[in-house]
Amino acid sequence: MKKIAVALGAVLALLPNIRYLADLRYRLDPALERSVCRSLACSDRLLLDAADRLPRTDNQSAAFAVANLQEALRRNAASPDRWCDLGEALLDAGRVQEAQYCFTRAVELGPESPPVFWRTSQFYERIQEPRRSHEYMGQMLELVPEYKELVFSTYLSGRSDVLDSLEHGIPRDRRLPQDYLRYLLAHDAGLGDVRKAWDWLRGHSLADDTLAGDYVDFLSKKREYSLAAETWKSSAGRQDDTYLNPNLVFNGGFESEPLQAGLDWRFAQPSGVQIGRDFTVAFSGSSSLQIAFAGDSNIDFNSVTQDVVAPPGRYHFKALVRTSELTTDEGIGFRIVDSSGGLTLQTTRLRGTHDWTPVDLDFSLSGPVRLLRILVVRQPSGKFDNKISGKVWIDGVSLVRS
């Protein structure tokens, strides 16, 4: 027994040196790695590092990498990461079916592992099976939706078909498909892809008015004015049955809360001014828009706007305005401009106290379809007593062919 103990102690003492020599020898002769490691004289980390260092640009290097990773997998066959490592090496070696088996096992062993789904998706992308790739990417998104920017950028940079991405690569809750469309809008994807994505979301009841506003803003920037108006009519337009027929102004009576997007009213809240719907005062319907000036500034006011799509023709603009103790010599009115800067029209302006009073104007448009902007305005006063106070109500805004 004493002799056995002495011999075992000598082997254990030599083991660190054996490992060191094996590591050193491997760097000079990778072909010895697998046989050396089967004696357990090298670490798992060495196996994995060795496989990573191999260039895999020739059959011999690829075979060495596969052999190392097979040994690493033999030591830990329950690891989904080891199955992915081997699958990638087999793919590099041209052994596609074996690689596919490895990724199938990896998913079975790691059904809630985002890295496994990511690597499996990349495998199917490499063998040109984009639908399978999207399916695994979608499963990863279900687990970690915060990775959506990475996934969306992968789809966009890889020129993935938008419909395939939506059908197979994005979970069907409302938020992620909407986020994907907004990603396409923000990264200036092609008009065709954006339209396909919008139509898909509408067809699957995943679009809402806020998303419609973002899409319509995109169309307006692309000068697709007619399509923008048609889209707005088919989405948010259900709240206003007069929109486009005959009134080109959406929500002209302020009967619904302005969406602050698309072709609805938008307004900021400058200092010293309060803007909002008033349910106690209206010319018709149940509400109007109230603007209240606090009297602490000589404001250049243009904070209430709406964009309107107008084909060529002759038009009549009209709005009903009510004022209460509106001070200074500069009152409230409307200005209409077009996006090219070739048109500027202004109505009369009211000050003091008036019951509902129409302000209107007539004009003609020629040439292509235009995007007009209607603004509620008040210019700064040049007088000494120039800080405006008082209230204004607006209702019944319309732009119709005459």
pLDDT tens sequence across 295-317: 999 999 999 999 999 999 999 99
Q: What are the beta bridge partners of residue 360?
A: 318
The H or E element spanning position 184 is helix 175-186
From first to last of its 402 residues, the chain has per-residue pLDDT tens of: 445 444 444 444 444 444 444 444 444 344 445 555 555 455 666 666 655 665 556 677 778 888 888 988 998 999 999 999 999 999 999 999 999 999 999 999 999 999 999 999 999 999 999 999 999 999 999 999 999 999 999 999 988 899 999 999 999 887 999 999 999 999 989 999 999 999 999 999 999 999 999 999 999 999 999 999 999 999 998 889 999 999 999 999 999 999 999 999 999 999 999 999 999 999 999 999 999 999 999 999 999 999 999 999 999 999 999 999 999 999 999 999 998 878 999 999 999 999 999 999 999 999 999 999 999 999 999 999 999 999 999 999 999 999
| CA 206 – CA 84 distance, rounded (Å) | 35
| CA 299 – CA 318 distance, rounded (Å) | 24
Is 170 in contact with 161 (CB distance < 8 Å)? Answer: no
Domains in the chain with CATH codes: 23-239 (1.25.40.10), 266-401 (2.60.120.260)
| CA 154 – CA 82 distance, rounded (Å) | 24
Q: With H, G, I as helix, E, B as strand and everything else as coil, classify residue 174.
A: coil
Question: Which residue carries 């995943």 as its tokens?
Answer: 206
| CA 157 – CA 170 distance, rounded (Å) | 16
Q: Write out pLDDT tens, residues 8-65.
A: 444 444 444 444 444 444 443 444 455 555 554 556 666 666 556 655 566 777 788 8
Q: With H, G, I as helix, E, B as strand and everything else as coil, classify residue 170.
A: coil
Is 286 in contact with 313 (CB distance < 8 Å)? Answer: no
Nearest alpha carbon to residue 29 among 55, 50, 52: 50
